[in-house]
């Protein structure tokens, strides 16, 4: 479900209601997520205050009094802030009881998501320490993407979706960014020029920024922390548009499988 824009939208939506709140109680109804939820989690978290919320790639980080809660939504995860009387839905695996009788619930049908605790500096967590730069920060630029590419001969799409290269670019936005940059997803890295990487970094930034501004992309069920869906879906140029007309040139959008993922592109615009 969530790529970088969706996680960013959730972060922004939950910051105001959550920062400063105390976690009074935690209920783990299903511990079998991507990694088992720590048995001690309820004990560890009880009484801790949420000091700050941030994001690293697709990880949402709740910085608490004595450590950090790392939340990854995987493919189908979501977080909802609910009133005290909200009935449990299926797949609501974890509940955080807050003051004012509000509760934050982690919902994830496919259980590819993760909820992890660390009391160490979070940057050094094994899942975060090897991540590439944030695409919206200055370290991610044409020079960087070009230099990294010299180490590989793989396809362009798998390259930009690799979180060790750059974080946050999932299948939807990889397709969209490649369309914006007029580059075919299956191109091999060594066939590209320096200027292609400059254009591509700009396109990645552009599509992620626009998606954040629109509140993210809702295909089936994405909502921010308060239940609002995103509005970026109508702006998608290629993703999910197989057989439809390219909005730039009118040719049909093609679909093919690349590395097991649905891949969309305009064979006329993208070279």
Partner DNA sequence: AAAAGGACCTGGTGGC
Partner DNA sequence: TGCCACCAGGTCCTTT
**Residues involved in catalysis:** 2-3, 58, 261
| C-alpha to C-alpha distances, 143 to 67, 77, 139, 149, 209, nearest whole angstrom | 36, 34, 9, 10, 20
Q: Examine residue 227 and tell whether it contacts DNA (CB under 7 A).
A: no
Q: Examine residue 260 and tell whether it contacts DNA (CB under 7 A).
A: yes
| C-alpha to C-alpha distances, 146 to 152, 156, 201, nearest whole angstrom | 10, 11, 10
**Closer residue to DNA, CB minimum distance, 2 or 13:** 2
Q: Examine residue 27 and tell whether it contacts DNA (CB under 7 A).
A: no
Q: Examine residue 110 and tell whether it contacts DNA (CB under 7 A).
A: yes
Q: In whole angstroms, how close is the CB of 46 to DNA at the nearest point? A: 28
- Nearest CA among 8, 130, 22, 129 for reference residue 61: 8
Query: Which of residues 13, 132, 170, 185 is near DNA by CB under 7 A?
Result: 170
**Closer residue to DNA, CB minimum distance, 22 or 206:** 206
Residues 33, 70: contact at Cβ < 8 Å?
no
**Closer residue to DNA, CB minimum distance, 112 or 144:** 112
The rounded distance, in Å, linking the Cα atoms of 262 and 113 is 21
Query: Which of residues 155, 203, 237, 270 is near DNA by CB under 7 A?
Result: 155
- Nearest CA among 242, 59, 241 for reference residue 167: 59
Q: Examine residue 112 and tell whether it contacts DNA (CB under 7 A).
A: yes
Footprint of DNA on this chain (CB under 7 A)?
1-3, 6, 32, 34, 57-58, 72, 74-76, 90-91, 109-112, 127, 151-155, 158, 163, 170-172, 189, 216-222, 259-262
């Amino acid at each position: 479900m969530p790529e970088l824009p969706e996680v960013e939208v959730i972060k922004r939506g939950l910051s105001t209601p959550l920062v400063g709140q105390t976690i009074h109680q935690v209920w783990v109804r299903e511990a079998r997520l991507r990694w088992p939820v720590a048995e001690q989690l309820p004990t560890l978290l009880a009484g801790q205050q949420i000091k700050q919320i941030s994001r690293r790639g697709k990880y949402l980080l709740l910085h608490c009094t004595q450590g950090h809660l790392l939340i990854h939504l995987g493919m189908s995860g979501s977080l909802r802030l609910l009133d005290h009387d909200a009935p449990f839905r299926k797949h609501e695996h974890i509940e955080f009881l807050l003051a004012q009788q509000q509760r934050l619930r982690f919902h994830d049908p496919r259980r590819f998501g993760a909820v992890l605790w660390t009391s160490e500096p979070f940057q050094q967590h094994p899942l975060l320490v090897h991540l590439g730069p944030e695409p919206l920060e200055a370290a991610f630029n044409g020079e960087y993407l070009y230099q990294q590419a010299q180490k590989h001969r793989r396809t362009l799409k798998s390259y930009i979706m690799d979180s060790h290269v750059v974080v946050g670019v999932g299948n939807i936005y990889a397709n969209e960014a490649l369309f914006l940059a007029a580059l075919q997803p299956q191109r091999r890295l060594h066939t590209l020029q320096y200027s292609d990487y400059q254009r591509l970094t700009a396109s990645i930034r552009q599509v992620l920024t626009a998606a954040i501004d629109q509140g993210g992309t809702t295909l089936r069920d994405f909502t921010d922390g308060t239940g609002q869906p995103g509005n970026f879906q109508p702006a998608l140029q290629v993703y999910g548009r197989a057989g439809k007309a390219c909005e730039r040139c009118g040719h049909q959008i093609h679909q093919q499988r690349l590395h097991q993922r649905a891949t969309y592109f305009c064979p006329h615009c993208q070279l």
